[in-house]
């Protein structure tokens, strides 16, 4: 389990890197959007390339940031129901969800999207809009984003099994639904909950 937790730590570091990287994409999209609006309103100059790069950046933020959102527990949960369940039951539900739904979906999306990326790259597909951009980079965001999400799903799976064995803190008590210090403060309590 120690070796698996080290692998989980490496995956978490990759997700954190992309989480910090997409902040710059948000800034770039904001600046491009502002410049495009100013150019259009003040000088009556428009650019399809500027519009499309905004869409590309918007897509990149969501696709490349999905794994980081999972790491931070920032994804949607039905807390009204989950809050009434024991921690052990919640872990088993998470494990089942990752194995039955999330990992197969990531695999399907990568398999489905990769031929589209390859075809667009080989054909040199370009947007049909005048002055539009090449398409394969934005298509490539789909398999890359789902690969990152799938990797983080594996990390979360490892952490949940480790928690059930009493070898790691509760992965649900950090990120968006609780602070890192809170996770350590509740670790003993949560481990006791696992025994129920």
Looking at 21-150, which runs of residues are DSSP E strands? Answer: none
Identify the residue whose tokens are 């997700």.
Answer: 15
CB-based contact 140:60 (threshold 8 Å): no
**What digits encode the pLDDT tens for the residues 75-89?**
776 666 767 778 888
Separation CA 5–CA 60 (nearest Å): 28
pLDDT at position 186 is: 43
Looking at 55-100, which runs of residues are DSSP E strands? Answer: none
CB-based contact 47:133 (threshold 8 Å): no
pLDDT at position 78 is: 64
Q: Is the pTM of this model over 0.85?
A: no
Separation CA 28–CA 14 (nearest Å): 21
**What digits encode the pLDDT tens for the residues 141-185?**
999 999 999 999 999 999 999 998 888 888 877 654 444 444 344
- pLDDT over 70, % of the chain: 85
Could you say which DSSP state residue 133 is in?
Answer: P
Q: If we measure between CA atoms, which residue out of 150, 171, 4 comes closest to residue 90?
A: 171
Separation CA 177–CA 75 (nearest Å): 10
């Amino acid at each position: 389990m120690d070796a698996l937790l080290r692998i989980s730590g490496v995956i978490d570091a990759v997700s954190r890197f992309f989480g910090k990287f997409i902040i710059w994409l948000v800034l770039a999209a904001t600046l491009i959007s502002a410049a495009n609006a100013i150019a259009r309103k003040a000088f009556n100059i428009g650019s399809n390339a500027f519009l499309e790069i905004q869409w590309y950046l918007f897509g990149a933020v969501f696709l490349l940031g999905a794994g980081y959102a999972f790491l931070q527990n920032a994804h949607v949960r039905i807390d009204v129901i989950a809050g009434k369940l024991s921690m052990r039951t919640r872990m088993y539900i998470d494990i089942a969800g990752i194995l039955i739904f999330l990992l197969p979906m990531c695999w399907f999306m990568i398999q489905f999207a990769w031929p589209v990326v390859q075809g667009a790259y080989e054909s040199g597909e370009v947007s049909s809009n005048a002055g539009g951009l090449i398409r394969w980079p934005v298509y490539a965001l789909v398999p890359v984003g789902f690969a990152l999400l799938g990797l983080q799903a594996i990390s979360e799976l490892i952490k949940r099994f480790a928690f059930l064995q009493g070898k790691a803190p509760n992965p649900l008590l950090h990120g968006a639904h609780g602070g890192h210090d809170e996770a350590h403060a509740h670790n003993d309590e949560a481990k006791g909950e696992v025994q129920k």
